Amino acid sequence: MSNSRAFSSEDYTVGWICPLPCELAAAVSMLDERHSPPLAQCNVDDNNYVLGRIGAHNVVMTCLPGGSKGKVAAAVAATRMTVTFGSLRFLLLVGTAGGVPNGKDVRLGDVIISHPDTRCGGVVQYDFGKTVQEGRFVHTTTLNKPPRVLRNAVSALLVQYMCRPAALSIQLSQIVKKAGYSRPDSETDVLYESSHDHPLEAKTCFRCDTNKSLQRPARSWDGPVAHLGVVASGDQVMRWATRRDELWGELKMDCFEMEAAGLMDDFPCLVIRGISNYADSHKNNAWRQYAAAAAAAYARELLGIVPGGLAAKIPSIVRGEMDSGKEMTVVRGLLWRATPDGMDDGVAKQQPSLVSGKTFAHAGPEGFMDCDSIEPDCPITDMEVFDAPPPGLGSPESGSVPHSPV
Ligand SMILES: [Zn+2]
């Protein structure tokens, strides 16, 4: 369905970025209404956009240029999008990823949503850090968590379906089917033992040993399961189970992708990824389209939770007033202040600690507080740098506060 009404760039409040064209095609199939391009774009913006509406939200969609992938390409596309569409409130990064089946029961076609936990803000840049004695690699960066409005929506969607665990899966299945995507046969969802590598140069798994596949209990439904989890982002395609498992032992991530690390610190953004492979040497594209559609269907459901009026009240991205802007954090014993460029109003960007998972903010005369327990507009009145935990926040042994300096 199309709408011939003339829209201005200021009418769009949601940005939707897909790394791949096939992921954008799935996204477009989720639109309730498609708007007529083109709109005037700023001189530096060479993105190609699809405009439309999902529920109460006018959405602008784009994918990365052919041959481009990774965090830099994603950051460039997002920057140009937000320049042309100055009223965008938040971004959704929606696409496919390699799943990590070690922790959660992640299967092909499932959806991972970046979600803060006790260790990070939902996305870890697994290849950023430093090499120290004995060649040991130490991760030294953390990335912002999704904006409050999207975390609220994720929780609301969770609550909506909590009493009926299969209902969301069935709903996503129906959306995907209505959009014209069919689910590959469940028998093609094969998870091999980590030690069983795919033969080099073999185009299919015909020669792979099915006796080396893991037997998992059948699900009572075939639809996508949505998992809140940790997204590992880096500049390489992960397709070796041995390395996948090594990193999981350290970071406990639920999927691998290549773009989120370019967006999380500079844009209010949620990552939604459909699982199209297991990040191992057997990786192929058989599930990619379905996984892309499943992720897009979840994004559509999520937007249905966010009231249009609420989105309009959130400051736009270009004003630099992210909802996480009034928090500070302790990262490895240091209280970080990361003031957004151009802002001198005493606010600081929140960066949860990979080590402790705790974030702390100075809250005036009351002392330091756990950021998760304070309101977003709690005033930040002072900032200091510590090389030891602030008093009253627990001992290092408790794991609640990090204590080793960076
Ligand atoms: Zn194989």
Annotate 349-360 with three-state secondary structure.
Answer: CCCCCCCCCCCE
Q: Give the Å distance between the CA of 335 and the centre of ligand 1.
A: 47
Q: Print the domain residue range for 262.
A: 9-211+221-312
Q: Give the Å distance between the CA of 196 and the centre of ligand 1.
A: 8
pTM: 0.78
Cβ-based neighbour number of residue 309 at 10 Å? 8
Please report whether residue 258 resides in a domain: yes
Please report whether residue 324 resides in a domain: no
Please report whether residue 76 resides in a domain: yes
Distance (Å, rounded) from C-alpha 348 to C-alpha 290? 40
Interval 189-217: pLDDT, tens: 999 999 999 998 888 998 999 999 999 99
Q: How many domains does the chain have?
A: 1
Please report whether residue 201 resides in a domain: yes
Handedness of CA 35, 38, 44, 49 (dihedral sign): positive
Distance (Å, rounded) from C-alpha 202 to C-alpha 353? 42
| Model pLDDT, residue 38 | 62
Peptide bond into 405 cis (omega under 30): no
Quote the DSSP letter at residue 382. -
Please report whether residue 340 resides in a domain: no
User: Taking 60 as the threshold, does the pLDDT of residue 370 lie above it?
Assistant: no
Residue 62 contacts residue 122 (beta carbons within 8 Å): no
- For the chain, the straight-line distance linking the first and the last C-alpha, in angstroms and rounded, comes to 54
Q: Give the Å distance between the CA of 199 and the centre of ligand 1.
A: 7
Q: Give the Å distance between the CA of 204 and the centre of ligand 1.
A: 6
* Nearest partner of 179 among 339, 299, 351, 96, judged by Cα: 299
> What angle in degrees, to the nearest 10, is found between the helix axes of 21-28 and 288-305?
40
Please report whether residue 267 resides in a domain: yes
Q: Give the Å distance between the CA of 65 and the centre of ligand 1.
A: 30
Lowest mean pLDDT among 25-39, 87-101, 327-341, 382-396: 327-341
Q: Give the Å distance between the CA of 197 and the centre of ligand 1.
A: 7
Please report whether residue 404 resides in a domain: no
Interval 25-65: pLDDT, tens: 999 999 999 998 766 888 889 999 999 999 999 999 999 99
Angle at 343 between CA 341 and CA 344, to 5 degrees: 125
Please report whether residue 200 resides in a domain: yes
Angle at 118 between CA 402 and CA 113, to 5 degrees: 145
Q: What CATH number did the domain enclosing 206 receive? A: 3.40.50.1580
Distance (Å, rounded) from C-alpha 141 to C-alpha 234? 12
Interval 135-175: pLDDT, tens: 888 877 779 999 999 999 999 999 888 877 688 899 999 99
